[in-house]
Structure formats: structure tokens, C-alpha cells
Amino acid sequence: MLVIVNQNIFNPQYVIPLSGMVFGNAMTGANLGLKTFRESLESERARIEALLNFGGTPREILLPFVNRALETAMLPTLNSMIGMGVVSLPGMMTGQILSGTLPTTAILYQIAIMIAICTVVCLSVFGSLYLGYHTLYNDRSQLLL
């Protein structure tokens, strides 16, 4: 906000729409990651229990599921970044160009927003998965599924 727009970070004209975009994408990413993680645990329950019986630690067993869910949750954000400006023109950038803003300024806005969205989505999914999977087992390495 401060670098590109040169406005106060608490200006509601900018904070409300930008935070709505960022939080909406973060919620979508976290929901997609948690859904993928839960479904993969449910489908691989017998395998997980067998690995535990053979002496595997919960960390060794659950981390591949966490990594797969993180990749799945990040795909929509990465796909939108890949096609941005080439295949599709995002609404914010198009609106700015139609309102008379220079295209280079509109592009800078859009790049900054996409970087912010990608960062927040990655952090929210990482936080919910990597910090949350520890709640699935107790101090005796028993899964609480």
C-alpha cells in the first residue's frame, strides 16, 4: 500500500477492498487444504495404522499428507498468477485501466495484490496444516483419528 499507492495503510478506500480479496483467497486456500488433508487421512486410515504399528512416527507418516494438501491448496492461486495478464485481465486491473489510470500503474497494483494474496494464502495454509497436524496425536505418538 505504502510503496505503490503512496497512501496511508489505514485508508478505508484501499484497505477494505484489498483485505477482502486477500482474506477471501486465504479462506479458500485453507478450506481446500484442510479438506484435502482430511479426505486423504480418511482414505488412507488402514495404511497409517499399519505404518504406526511398524514403528513409524506420526510426523513421518503425516508429513506427506500435509505436503500434498499444501500443494493442492496452492494450485488455484498459482494458476491465477500464471494466466494473469496473458490469458485473462483481472477485474481490478481492468477497472483501473477503464477509469483512466495508466496501464503500468494498474499492472503494478495487480502484481502487488497477487504477491500479497499468494503470500497470505501460503501462510494461512501452512499455519493450518503444519501447525494443526500436531493435534492429531498425543505425547505417546498415538493418533487420535
pLDDT digits (tens, 9 = 90+) for 30-80: 999 999 999 999 999 999 989 989 988 898 999 999 999 999 999 999 988
Specify if 2 maps to a domain: no
Do the domain assignments include residue 3? no
> 87 pLDDT exceeds 70?
no
* pLDDT for 15: 80
- Whether residue 4 is contained in a domain is answered as no
| Residue 88 phi, psi dihedral angles, 5° rounding | -135, 150
pLDDT at 51: 92
pLDDT mean over 20-36: 94
**Residue 31 neighbours by CB distance under 10 Å:** 14
Q: Which of 34, 30, 62 is nearest to 144 (CA)?
A: 62
State the residue for C-alpha cell 497436524.
Answer: 133
Which one has a higher pLDDT value, 101 or 121? 121
What pLDDT does 65 receive? 96
Could you tell me the pLDDT band of residue 27, with boundaries at 50, 70 and 90? very high
Which domain range does residue 34 map to?
13-136
Of 145, 136, 134, 132, whose CA–CA distance to 31 is shortest? 132
- What confidence score (pLDDT) does residue 112 get? 84
Residue 110 domain flag: yes
Report the DSSP beta bridge partners of residue 136. none
DSSP state of 135: G
Q: What is the pTM of this model?
A: 0.83
Percent of the chain with pLDDT over 90: 41
Q: How many domains does the chain have?
A: 1
Kindly state whether residue 87 falls inside one of the protein's structural domains: yes
Domain membership flag for residue 50: yes
Residues whose CB falls within 8 Å of the CB of residue 140, separated by 6 or more in sequence, listed in order:
none
Map residue 98 onto helix, strand or coil: helix
Q: What does the pLDDT read at residue 28?
A: 95
pLDDT above 80: residue 111: yes
C-alpha cell at 22: 486477500
| Residue 133 in grid coordinates | 497436524
Which residues partner with 88 through β-bridges? 84
Residue 82 lies in a domain: yes
> Is 113 part of a structural domain of the chain?
yes
